[in-house]
Amino acid sequence: MLKQPSQKYRPFPPVHLPDRHWPNRTLSRAPIWCSVDLRDGNQALAVPMNVGQKLEMFHTLVKCGFKEIEVGFPSSSNTEFTFNRRLIEEKRAPEDVWLQVLVQAREDLIERTVESLIGAKKAIIHLYNSTSPAQRRVVFGKSKDEIKAIAVQGAKWIQERLPRLKGTEVMLQYSPESFSATEVEFAREISEAVMDVWQPTPERKMILNLPDTVEVAMPNVYADQIEWMCRNLRNRDSLIVSLHTHNDRCTGVAATELGLLAGADRVEGTLFGNGERTGNLDIVTVALNLYQHGIDPRLDFSNLNALIEVYERCTGMTVPPRQPYAGELVFTAFSGSHQDAIRKGLAEWKTGRTENWDVPYLTIDPNDIGREYREVIRVNSQSGKGGVAYLLESEFGIVLPKEMQREFGPLANDEVDRLGREVSGVELRAMFWREYVERTKPWQLQGFETESRNGLVRCHARMLRDGTPAELHGEGNGPLAALVHGFSTIGVPRFEIASYSEHALSSGEAAAAIAYIQIKHSDGRTRWGAGVDTNIELASVRAVLSALNRS
């Protein structure tokens, strides 16, 4: 890297817009969405989708609620043309879905494109040519007027062929490709030249797509460009201003959201941002960002896992684990403090005490997009007692008392640290069982009977003490008090029960109950124990033995 990059690179010049309005606006409704997964996303694949895969992806996009889908570049290959024809001839496109096709300003390509649309119900013909200074100089070697002439001629070739699409509702779209790197005055000039050919009206609008083809500036500059165009184009009410951002500076989402504030009506992008170089706009992210603010995105991502499965199968791409909303790990928390906050926030939400979603670290309810709460908290060596407690409760119905969480949490973390990896709920339960429920030395219960007379309970316990049979008799105001008294009669150092709780386990545990008991020794030491049995009295006795065994 250069020590003085300014010798090679220059900052992108800002747009002169001192009275910009977009910073003071807020979004209140979703834009018109257009998926370009079947064109931009497809072009960026090492192995492009075949017709079957494109058909599956198309139907998936329709199911999500897209009403405009750029189905490809029908003049570019037989596969693209055939796919378009199958959509139309097999009546696969719903009547309210627009089939958008892309074409350069070349007559032979326009001819083939129009041919691919014959018989369609609704079609958007998307014409483009590149307009930036670098493209004009390096690629075309043409002046501004010559570049404008290409766009005008392409618009005329399309206009001349529209009678061939009788019975098809046609909308026309123009993109000055590399708009964001083009002088805004020239972008307006060439766009208005195309408008002069197509003659849009407020009743029959055309789409003016203003692509951030290669991100060359911060997203606020793109917003200034969009607002400048919206304020300076003539007949703005005859246009649908559209955005098409890429992600070269990793700000495609930000550029789109600011562009909408700046006055745009429509957004093009791909589901998870697949596209050339660093990718296109991630529509799922922008749509769910709106949803998070209480705005209906008019797209259905309620089963995001199923959508990801289709996307990955058709494209061969994978959704990264940290992809916003869609990634495997985005609703997880490994930090103990985060886990505790999430667990408490979810508990509050379930009680209905809050009107709006406000769970720490979770921007939306995972359940709204087909995820589950059990995915929220996972446990590794960085996790705290809150995460451990959450998994035991959510997956197995084991509700640890708070003090017991403080005891078991560090024990579990030590074991997870030894393993050096994340552990599952099943593994965590096994750790708990080994530490508490399965403790059989020195004390192991063989039998326990009680009788009650005049408010006094007498117990008889048969046990093994380090494998040797032992019996005890005790009395008290309840079975546990009698058991504690019985231990004192056979020389066990005195202890008392400091805390007790119990609850039923899930039906998967054969309707068993679990008891948690904390004992306190005469020297002040405390230990927790847990016992499981179909009889709650026996579960409590087992919990006392568990605590003694752990002492």
Q: What residue spans in the chain does CATH classification 3.20.20.70 cover? A: 30-315
In terms of DSSP H, where are the helices of 323-399? 336-351, 385-396
The three-state (H, E, C) secondary structure of 493-525, written as one string: CCEEEEEEEEEECCHHHCCCEEEEEEEEECCCC
Residue 155 identity = A
Choose which CATH entry (3.30.160.270, 3.40.50.2300, 3.60.110.10, 3.40.50.720) describes domain 443-550.
3.30.160.270
Q: Order across the sheet with 456-465: list the strands.
A: 443-453, 456-465, 468-476
- Rounded to whole angstroms, how far apart are CA atoms 495 and 107? 95
The secondary structure of residue 43, as a DSSP letter, is H
Read off the DSSP letter of residue 28: -
Coil, strand, or helix at residue 206? Answer: strand
Residue by residue, DSSP assigns 117-147 as HTT-SEEEEEEEEE-SHHIIIIII---HHHH
Q: In the prediction, which pLDDT does 373 show?
A: 67
Other CB atoms within 10 Å distance of the CB of residue 3:
5
Q: Which residues of 322-344 are buried (b: 16+ CB within 10 A; e: fewer)?
A: ebbbbebebbbbbbbebbbbbbe
CATH 3.30.160.270 segments of the chain = 443-550
DSSP type of residue 269: E
Q: Hunting for tokens 């697949």 — which residue is that?
A: 274
- The confidence score (pLDDT) of residue 508 equals 56
**Dist. CA 505–CA 433, nearest whole Å:** 14
Dihedral sign for Cα 220, 224, 230, 231, please.
positive
Unique residue bearing structure tokens 């979770």: 362
| Each residue's pLDDT expressed in tens, for the chain with a length of 551 residues | 999 999 999 999 999 999 999 999 999 999 999 999 999 888 889 889 999 999 999 999 999 999 999 999 999 989 899 999 999 999 999 999 999 999 999 999 999 999 999 999 999 999 999 999 999 999 999 999 999 999 999 999 999 999 999 999 999 999 999 999 999 999 999 999 999 999 999 999 999 999 999 999 999 999 999 999 999 999 999 999 999 999 999 999 999 999 999 999 999 999 999 999 999 999 999 999 999 999 999 999 999 999 999 999 999 999 999 999 999 999 988 877 888 899 899 999 999 888 999 999 999 999 999 987 666 677 777 777 778 888 898 888 899 999 999 999 899 988 888 888 888 889 999 999 999 999 999 999 999 999 999 889 999 999 999 999 999 999 999 999 999 999 999 999 999 999 999 999 865 555 789 999 999 999 999 999 999 999 999 999 999 999 999 98
CA distances from 445 to 67, 108, 381, 492 (A): 68, 89, 35, 16
What pLDDT, on the 0 to 100 scale, is given for residue 507? 55
Q: What angle do CA 135, 172, 195 make, to 5 degrees?
A: 70
Assigned CATH topology for domain 30-315: TIM Barrel (3.20.20)
> What is each CA distance from 334 to 326, 366, 379, 398, 422, in whole angstroms?
18, 17, 6, 20, 9
